[in-house]
Chains A and B, each alone.
Chain A
């Protein structure tokens, strides 16, 4: 299976790897060559252009790609996986809108500005986390009701800990 569906930000691209030298996307055909330089960096030649990319894996479908200072999360699925994924997505029906906000870095919870049950708007400040000597505003990632707050003022948190959820 050499048909892939690649999602970057909001766009999707179909890439067909024809052989170890040629591929096509939705628009054109390319000659390609990919040369690993280190564990994380690659030189990619597409026709007559040469790109230097850095990449790290997040899980089997998802990688981070850095190119010209822009960092993306890129999801790659085989055409078959994509079909299965779509089926799953539509069969799960109306799923409850629920969002968790995690600590982006270890730090100290300085202030909790909202209470459980309170309405918040997208972008409203919920928690102030102090890290790197700066007060960082952690904002609501969606509008909704605060379902849960898992931390208290003055507590130290590790990175990745869920701080609060919005439903």
Chain B
């Protein structure tokens, strides 16, 4: 087993890995940027090292510096979390060369699955159904137009090196093609340093179903059932659950064995997720494989009783999987809500600022994985994910009630969050009935939701806020209330450039 693990990440996922290390008796090492000097991961690790300026390419994406540090301080293994270097085959290759263990798959598997077009070819070869479309990058607008015509609109343009919902655009007709082609290429180059893009048939109103798999270095595989992540905005998940309310036993059997085939096809080891789109007839198509720990891994942990990060560390150090498929069963139901600093009613625009007041929910069946606290800053440099609220109960309905209860307790003051929006989705009749797909948060839905929110109990809340403001004003305390704001009178609490 390892003695010292460096966590090449920040925020809630760095905290998650540090906690696993502590429970396993392994020393944890955090790296931090200027913006994270006082962050939770910097505070909780056994050792913390300053790595560079706030922009990610100076700090969390500074490959040379991270590897140099790891060697200097005698680290056995590096855990990448998700995002940053987690799916970067070049980084993983460099670590392998330096005789440090990467807690994740081999650089070879990552490279194979990292190219969406290569992965699609591999799946065809291994009899895993893929979404109809190209398996080669599109070179010119003219080629793209021709292929799109053949497949039939609507189509999706996707970055071959993409993931996490970035670098992806829907095109409904040929006149939209050229500008979307350019924008997707631009975003792909920016986000993934690779502007290869390909075309997929746009499947109408599918659900997003994914399967968690785990493999050891001896070639043993298990699946940890499915997760459903159909509630998305900007092609990014915001609510995930396990098991899916849509998947029946027979479909589960088929989709989990397809996932294991996919993993075997690239000689995969460690934790990975095979993502599928499922149509209304329960036909499913391989979308991509995420060769890392997922943001939403806690819902799987809660229904299986396993600790995925500990399992990752154990198989990375060469141990066999400690259990077999027949030892696993689904216990109860789990839902995760991603708490983002963003304004749902302003195009989900990220919001930045200082957390002025933080109170997180607790009580039976509630888990909060957070990287932030009172006084923490949400900056423009990183993803606006603040925390994950995960609830478990013995069935889906009671988990929904528990989630609504927990969201009601959650207070994050100082910036705009999606907390009340999440509560409205979870309580929505269609969500309760399990009737939704990846287009659930359509423009129409958003408009109606806003109206609903405005007409509901908001009157009562407005009234209390008004009374509160009047009392404050009547006291001298109003004038003493500390301004957390610049004078230019805009809505956004200032932080970085103050």
Contacts and interface: CB of A to CB of B under 8 A. Distances in A.
Interface in A59-75: 59-60, 63, 65-74
B357 A51 contact: no
Given A17-B471, A23-B467, A160 B380 contact: no
A134 B490 CA distance: 22
A55 B381 CA distance: 25
Given A41-B356, A54-B414, A66-B413, A135 B467 contact: no
Contacts of B357: 38, 40-41, 54, 66
Nearest to A113: B179
Contact of B414 (A11, A56, A105, A158): A56
B183 A135 contact: yes
Interface in B381-401: 381-384
A137 B443 CA distance: 15
B481 A57 contact: yes
Contact of B347 (A55, A59, A137): A137
Nearest to A34: B471
Most A CB within 10 A of own CB, among B234, B410, B467, B477: B467
Interface residues of A, number: 63
A80 interface: no
Contacts of A134: 166, 234, 350
A58 interface: yes
Contact of B485 (A13, A52, A56): A56
A73 B166 CA distance: 33
A76 interface: yes
A32 B477 CA distance: 16
B350 A53 contact: no
Contact of B492 (A70, A132, A160): A160
Nearest to B486: A160
A72 B465 contact: yes
A9 B461 CA distance: 12
B481 A63 contact: yes
Contact of A34 (B190, B472, B493): B472
Nearest to B341: A132
A140 to B, nearest CB: 13
A36 B467 CA distance: 15
A138 to B, nearest CB: 9
A160 B488 CA distance: 7
Contacts of B383: 132-133
A69 B465 CA distance: 12
A159 B485 CA distance: 12
B325 interface: no
A134 B385 CA distance: 14
Q: Is the interface of A mostly helix, strand, loop or mixed?
A: strand
A8 B469 CA distance: 10
Contacts of A66: 357, 411, 413-414
B194 to A, nearest CB: 15
B23 interface: no
Do most interface residues of chain B lie in helix, strand or loop, or is the interface mixed? mixed
B468 A42 contact: yes
Contacts of A78: 473
A68 B408 contact: yes
Contact of A67 (B416, B465, B471): B465
Contacts of B416: 71
B497 A104 contact: no
Contact of A76 (B384, B461, B473): B473
B464 interface: yes
A33 B116 CA distance: 60
Contacts of A110: 186
Contact of B467 (A32, A41, A133): A32
Given A40-B413, A56-B414, A105 B352 contact: yes
Contact of A57 (B420, B454, B485): B485
A118 B447 CA distance: 28
Contacts, number: 189
A15 B467 contact: yes
A6 interface: yes
A135 B234 CA distance: 11
A59 B465 contact: no
B485 A58 contact: yes
B172 to A, nearest CB: 17
A106 interface: yes
Interface in A106-135: 106-107, 110, 130-135
A104 B492 contact: yes
B350 A105 contact: yes
Contact of B462 (A36, A60, A63, A72): A72
A46 B467 CA distance: 9
Nearest to B236: A134
Contact of B410 (A9, A69, A70): A69
Interface string A6-43: 10110101010100000101000010101010111110
A63 B350 contact: no
Interface string A83-108: 00000000000000000001011110
A42 B493 CA distance: 19
A51 to B, nearest CB: 6
B452 to A, nearest CB: 13
A55 B382 CA distance: 25
A151 interface: no
B465 A4 contact: no
B166 A133 contact: yes
B466 interface: yes
A96 to B, nearest CB: 20
A32 B472 CA distance: 12
B420 A69 contact: yes
B191 interface: yes
13 contacts: A4-B470, A6-B469, A9-B454, A23-B467, A30-B467, A51-B468, A56-B483, A66-B357, A105-B352, A105-B492, A133-B191, A133-B383, A134-B234
Given A2-B474, A104-B491, 6 more contacts: A40-B481, A56-B414, A63-B472, A67-B465, A69-B407, A132-B383
**Closest 3 pairs (CB-CB, A-B):** A54-B413, A69-B420, A15-B470
